[in-house]
Structure 1
Amino acid sequence: MAYLIDIIIFQAAILIAVYCISTVLPLDFRFPGWSYTQCGVELPDQLAKRIDAGWPLRSGEVRINQICEVSQIGSEKQRYLQTGVSRQTDNGTSGQWLTIPVDADDNPVIGPVFVYSRVISGIVNIAFLAFAFAYFSANGRRTIGKKLLGLRVQSVDGKSPGFGTEFRREILKFSPYLFFIAAAFAFSLFPVFPTEDFDALLRMSRDGYTLLNNGAATFNIILGIAALIWWFLPFIFWRGQTFYDRICACKVVKS
């Protein structure tokens, strides 16, 4: 609970600072998870006809076309085409989907997806959070969340850890998230689609082609399970230490 209180406070402060900076400097801040998506923009007639020709409907199928706009603090809107079909089966509704970025003229953009700005923003965000947590936990200080719940971080010998130890502890705390960012960057270096021909890709989607994103999704599930183990398993057998506490010879105590 103390962590949730602190993460809300520190992340809100960072986002406010980023918003103020972005109104002055033309920087591209794209913090993962802090975005707003709005779908429903109608497709141009030419693109809709192209989709109908490349992915004709079969009996019982319903076409769904839309363009989604993703807004993030300090960043220009990103636009994505979502096209697919849905059908009723004995087990409910099923569907096939194809999601592709589009340019300002709503033309599909196919190729490798690079996420340099998101990687940099994600790392900077974690660095700021780790610094804030470390500063307000080192040398006998406490974060607001820990004050409210009467908690304190101290070394196993009963002393107050310095800033260096606390910063290392916080980096280790966020290490699953940093690994997730690195994995996302690694996946972005490879083409998501097997062809840059949009019409050919439509035909493949019609025939049941599964995007490589499924492999990324499986990896994300595995990483998510590992992160849950890293963050929450120690609380099941709570003795005042998480895994990163043990590495840094620290513990959380009531005070």
Structure 2
Amino acid sequence: MKYKRILLKLSGEALMGDNQYGIDAARLEQYVKEIKEVKDLGVEIAIVIGGGNIFRGVQAEDSGIDRVQGDYMGMLATVINAMALQSALEKTGLYTRLMSGIKIEEVCEPFIKRRAVRHLEKGRIVIFGAGIGNPYFTTDSTASLRAIEMEADVVLKGTRVDGVYTADPEKDPAATKFPSISFQDVYEKGLNVMDMTAFTLCQENNLPIIVFDMNKKGNLKAIVAGEEVGTLIS
């Protein structure tokens, strides 16, 4: 395998499937199958999942909720998704650990770097919930930070779009896809890949990012095997 240890970033919205909110059982099952295929190849897997299908902190201010309070609510939403993913993975016989950026010891371990690395070395899938435990940081930032701490080979950002385009392909049919692009070019072209904090963390630590369509069967396995899928940012 080209990548021995990966950090997979999934959005909460991706779990909705065709629903308006919540978790779509069929979509969750599909993701679990994709992850299991890669795990069975011996790849060490860490996962960060968002909470946008339940609650987004940035929406809180529109409801009159304090931004910091809203961000903590969003962190709890990510834990709900992480617990659902953990349960689905364990039903297939995989061993997992859920680690949280905030203390919820009844349902998950607090994040400790050395313990998380040891879980990966023992073949467990590690799921990171509750972001990094601080407001104003997105789950993209969590993915970048945890990937660096885990010494992952790559950040795999699974979305519903099959890479980085010159414009939003869902709005502009003339948009063209980049098979690969440098961090600097993403900056200069103003392309929306991750939030700037997350993106800068990856750039400064020479951590490549691959943006790909998680909903297409076999994409995750193909990337790990070294095939050119999605857009590589390095």
TM-score normalized by structure 2?
0.28
TM-score normalized by structure 1?
0.26
The structure with the greater share of residues assigned to helix is 1
**Structure possessing the higher radius of gyration over alpha carbons:** 1
